[in-house]
Amino acid sequence: MSVSDYEEILKYYELRETIGTGGFAKVKLGRHLLTGEKVAIKIMDKVALGDDLPRVKTEIDAMKNLSHQHVCRLYHVIETSKKIFMVLEYCPGGELFDYIVSKDRLSEEEARVFFRQIVSAIAYVHSQGYAHRDLKPVSLNC
């Protein structure tokens, strides 16, 4: 971790533990220095993204335009020469997949609540002219 890569993000946020990892990114818990609000900070290496960089920039543009109670909010984007930092709403419940595994299974009533939230979010996303294209329990937060 080069300090210069993180210099800009550290002006606004304290970085804490890693709360998620993926193929091209890691997600750290963060805290806004002025408000103390917890956030999730998705950190992506531009070189590792390679040909996916335009797709990520399209995703960022889409997220900037979305505001719905069941869609994770994008608060801030910081781009440096080597990194992209996406500051997102922190969802302390974690991934839907982990929640389901921890409970072994969901009751019909609980599944119905999640299903309504997912359908509401997807209907909104579609109404704004976007499609998610990667819906699965590990891509959804509770």
Q: Are 39 and 30 in contact (CB under 8 A)?
A: yes
Q: Where are the alpha helices (DSSP H) in the chain?
A: 3-6, 46-49, 53-64, 96-103, 108-127
- 42 annotated as a binding-site residue: yes
Compute the radius of gyration of the chain from its Cα atoms.
16
Q: Is 134 among the residues known to form the active site?
A: yes
Number of Cα atoms under 13 Å in the Cβ half of residue 101: 7
Q: Which residues, in sequence order, are CB contacts of 72 under 8 Å at separation 6+?
A: 63, 88, 89, 91, 141
Q: Which H or E run includes 32?
A: strand 25-32
Residue 140, burial from CB neighbour count under 10 angstroms (0-12, 13-18, 19+):
buried
User: Could you give the residue numbers annotated as active site?
Assistant: 134
Binding site per annotation, positions for ATP: 42
Binding site per annotation, positions: 42
